[in-house]
Amino acid sequence: MSDTSPEVPILRRLDDLRALTRAWRRAGERIAVVPTMGALHAGHISLVAAARTRAERVIVTIFVNPRQFNSREDYEKYPRTEEADAVLLEPFAVDAVFVPAEHEVYPEGFATTVSVSGLTAPLEGEYRPGHFDGMSTVVTKLLTMTSADCAMFGEKDWQQLQVVRRMARDLNLDCEIVPCPTVREPDGLALSSRNQRLTHDARAMSAALPRALLGAAAEIAEGRAPGPVLETARAAVLGAGFDSIDYLELRDAETLGPAIEGRPARLFVAAWAGPVRLIDNVPIAVPAG
Ligand code: PAF
């Protein structure tokens, strides 16, 4: 990625970003941010498009945050595709792409952690200890570093979205958290940077994940007991070739606690295809009474 590309203005230093955002603010312009870890795909582009409709200025941040990975190996293997990211962003005339070095985000002596309790305990929290602390800390930093009025988050990471909403509310961050729908491949697989790491065979069977979720969601909405429906869905995922399932669960969409009749609920899954862990979720209409 060339720092001098006129189409995609890359900034690596916070001082340079601040100079820009201060000028924009003086001109009365709103700022929208799309926080990413790079390896951009059409899902990210949908966030950029949503950002464009909400603010005069759009910043995309690209930072592979070491503090939200559970293993050094996963962090190191996370795809880094700066050149391709720049090419993908070019048609969208973003006003700045902020690509900070690690020391810019976590300077020597950095000692602060933002930690949200409750919402972070189940699902990803159970299987990825520390992940949400790392995520919440970096998102707080990215929102303040960019002085954003609004920030776009994909519904594919539904639990992350709820945690960020709670954190923004609790810390009185003056930044609207905007949810954006999951973007899917034609066969239903949710777009994710991790999909790049799927083998040909794993990619071929991975649509079994959304298929199982959507099938189970439809059956529960029709009034079938969730227990056996979820068992059948788990069997379908493993039968398709996934190696293991961390969770496939029905939960309240907002609190992430047990689903309650008449309240919005969602089905959540995390499953392993070889070394690649995929997550997904779908809404479900839990029948009242
Ligand atoms: O969803 C992601 O890509 C990351 O968790 C985020 C929000 C960019 C923070 O590192």
pLDDT at 286: 60
Query: In this model, does residue 203 exceed pLDDT 80?
Result: yes
Query: In this model, does residue 51 exceed pLDDT 60?
Result: yes
- Is 44 a residue of the active site? yes
Atom 3 of ligand 1, residue of closest alpha carbon: 36
Q: How confident is the model at residue 7 (pLDDT cuts 50, 70, 90)?
A: confident
Distance CA 147, CA 130 (A): 26
Q: To 5 degrees, how large is the angle CA 259–CA 283–CA 69?
A: 85
The mean pLDDT value for 202-219 works out to 98
Q: How do residues 125-176 score in pLDDT, each as one tens digit?
A: 999 999 999 999 999 999 999 999 999 999 999 999 999 999 999 999 999 9
Chain region(s) in the chain for CATH 3.40.50.620: 10-180
Distance CA 110, CA 134 (A): 13
Atom 1 of ligand 1, residue of closest alpha carbon: 36
Q: How do residues 222-233 score in pLDDT, each as one tens digit?
A: 999 999 999 999
Query: Among residues of the chain, what percentage have pLDDT more than 70?
Result: 97
Q: From the CA of 35, how far away is ligand 1's center (Å)?
A: 6
**C-alpha distances in angstroms, 257 versus 122, 123, 155, 182, 269?**
8, 10, 18, 22, 15
Distance CA 44, CA 255 (A): 26
| CATH number, domain 10-180 | 3.40.50.620
Tell me, using a 6 A CB cutoff, whether residue 175 lines ligand 1.
no
Which residues have CB under 8 Å from 173's CB, separation 6+? 140, 143, 144, 167
Tell me, using a 6 A CB cutoff, whether residue 138 lines ligand 1.
yes
pLDDT at 1: 46
pLDDT at 204: 97
Chain region(s) in the chain for CATH 3.30.1300.10: 193-282
Distance CA 281, CA 261 (A): 19
**C-alpha distances in angstroms, 189 versus 113, 192, 244?**
33, 9, 17
**C-alpha distances in angstroms, 225 versus 6, 155, 250?**
57, 26, 11
Tokens 């930044």, located at residue: 175
Structure tokens at 53: 């409709």
Q: How confident is the model at residue 287 (pLDDT cuts 50, 70, 90)?
A: low
Domain 193-282 bears CATH identifier 3.30.420.40 = no
Distance CA 285, CA 218 (A): 8
The mean pLDDT value for 197-225 works out to 97
Instruction: Give yes or no for a contact between 157 and 279, defined as CB atoms under 8 angstroms apart.
Output: yes
Atom 6 of ligand 1, residue of closest alpha carbon: 36
Q: How do residues 56-68 score in pLDDT, each as one tens digit?
A: 999 999 999 999 9
